[in-house]
Amino acid sequence: MTSDASTSSRPPVAPALQFVLLLTPVVMSCFYLVYAITGWVIEGRDKLNWSIEAGGVGFWTGLGIVLYSLLVLLYARIKGAGSKHILVYSSVLHIVLALLLTLSIFISIRA
């Protein structure tokens, strides 16, 4: 019995690369979550100092997470991953989370 390498089922994305592509947005989103929660917890002068830089940090970090997730989503689709692949789910989840946290930061600045 012979085995043809072209007919073997291989995952669309290598497991090690998939691990890295999944780990990176988790780390970025955890930082972003802590940063957004900080805006709701601190008060007084600390809140004023936080709100001075929060708009820029919120915009650029949120944009970075969204762009990274879109690139991972595009890469997964190019490699043939289906719509139910973990990279697709992760990308969509991190895009939604980044948008919600950015909105939270801008609401916290105004509060």
**pLDDT one-digit tens code per residue, 33-71:** 999 999 899 888 988 899 899 999 999 999 999 999 999
**pTM listed for this prediction:** 0.82
The pLDDT tens digits of the residues spanning 3-30 come to: 555 555 777 778 888 888 889 999 999 9
Domain positions in the chain are 13-110
Predicted confidence at residue 4, as pLDDT, reads 52
Q: Which of 110, 95, 111 is nearest to 32 (CA)?
A: 95
The answer to whether residue 2 scores a pLDDT higher than 70 is no
Predicted confidence at residue 10, as pLDDT, reads 77
Question: Can you say how many angstroms the Cα of residue 62 is from the centroid of all Cα atoms in its chain?
Answer: 8
